[in-house]
Structure 1
Amino acid sequence: MNYANKITLARIALIPLFMLCFLNQSSFLFAIIIFAVAAGTDKLDGYVARKYNQITNLGKLLDPLADKLLIAVALILMVQENMISSWIAVIIIGREIVITALRMVATEQGIALAADRYGKIKMVLQVAAIIAILLNNVSFSLLTEVRVDLVLLWLAAGVTLLSGLNYIVMNYQLLRTEK
């Protein structure tokens, strides 16, 4: 197993640790740190895979799965603790399910659908929003009375919807014409 895939597996392994720390109020700060580190490994594994020519089919499968699991777990836990509304989690997780289904259809047709820049922007906004919400807007409240965490969350939800629609539109014709 190459280094890039090990980094991705480490991200997946951090998810249960994040959950345990999140649910244990005395370890909540550790949960935030673990989430941020896990989210940061997304960039790192991609960099290592490209720099050292370690791009594999396993990595192509595990990397987006690790991202989806990390974000979905964080959203579900935040809904459980009434930190966010459930409809936000439904939008974000629902988009991931739809796009994953679309990718599965494409794979069956022998088509590889690459992530686009909007998907990458979506991921960054989701991570930023989750961290800001986990911090309860504390770091921003020193500078402004605007709920930056909620602004980021709404922005993340909007970009998530738009990126999903863009992905479907951009790949629909490709899937229709390939047989």
Structure 2
Amino acid sequence: MPDTNAKTIWNIPNILTLLRIALIPVLAVLLLSPSREAGFWAAAVFAVASTTDWLDGYLARRMGIVTVFGKFLDPIADKLMVMAALIMILPYNRVPAWMVLVILGREIIITGLRGIASSEGIVISASDLGKFKTIFQMVAIIGLLLHYDYHWFFGVDNPYLIVNMHNAGMFYLWIATIMTVWSGADYLAKFMRVIAR
């Protein structure tokens, strides 16, 4: 008799999520070097992984194959990607340690609260704040991985057309950090209201 549970796990959205997790060691190995080339390829890997984050959710809803396994694994894959990138660039002083602490601390706390709510049979849906926070994090990290100055306009050597990707990344990371605290406080307030009932 075929294992129907295995069929629900091995679908395209879940495979994309597993691919995202499989890319984490590749990202980590690339970031062992602070070189421009390593950063470029790490940013490319991170961008591909970020795209699969959007794509797996879209396909799961479009194909009507949202699974418990996928709902569990998808946010974990996101957090692992973000954690890996931020931790690997810490030794190169590309990101303030306190920002990494705030971002990772929030993820650990919210994951714990979700686990408590889930054990009580309560589902607290993710807010738009959390989704925007994730988008800003992804954009910021790509900028921080690229780090160096880039001539984005067909290689034209004009100082006004050069973008310092580190500064661009930090700009978005500040927004992401503010949204991290805001969305975390919002989730905590929702959690307290639901548990109080």
User: TM-score, normalized by length of structure 1?
Assistant: 0.92
Distance 2:107 2:91 in 1: 20
Tell me what 1:116 maps to: 127
Say if 2:39 and 2:147, in contact at 8 Å, map to a contact too.
no
Tell me what 1:161 maps to: 181
Tell me what 2:68 maps to: 57
Tell me how far 1:28 sits from its aligned partner: 3.0
Tell me what 2:170 maps to: 150
- The amino acid across from 2:11 in the alignment is N
TM-superposition CA deviations, 1:87-112 (whole Å, max 9, x none): 01000000000100110010110012
Are 1:176 and 2:196 matched, yes or no?
A: yes
Distance 1:175 1:13 in 2: 36
Number of aligned residues: 177
Tell me how far 1:80 sits from its aligned partner: 2.1
Tell me what 1:21 maps to: 30
Distance 1:44 1:119 in 2: 18
Distance 1:137 1:173 in 2: 46
Determine which structure has more spread, i.e. the larger CA radius of gyration.
2
Give the share of equivalent positions with the same residue, in percent. 39
- The amino acid across from 1:171 in the alignment is F
Mean CA deviation greater in 17-26 or 143-152: 143-152
Distance 2:32 2:74 in 1: 25
Distance 1:137 1:129 in 2: 14
Any runs of at least 4 consecutive aligned residues in structure 1 with deviations exceeding 4 A, and if so which?
143-146
Distance 2:175 2:49 in 1: 22
User: TM-score, normalized by length of structure 2?
Assistant: 0.84
- Aligned-CA RMSD value: 1.9
SS in 1 for 2:31: helix
- The amino acid across from 1:22 in the alignment is L
SS in 2 for 1:23: coil
The 3 A distance-change label for structure 1 pair 91 and 17 is same
Say if 1:4 and 1:46, in contact at 8 Å, map to a contact too.
yes
Tell me how far 1:148 sits from its aligned partner: 2.5
Mean CA deviation greater in 55-64 or 165-174: 165-174
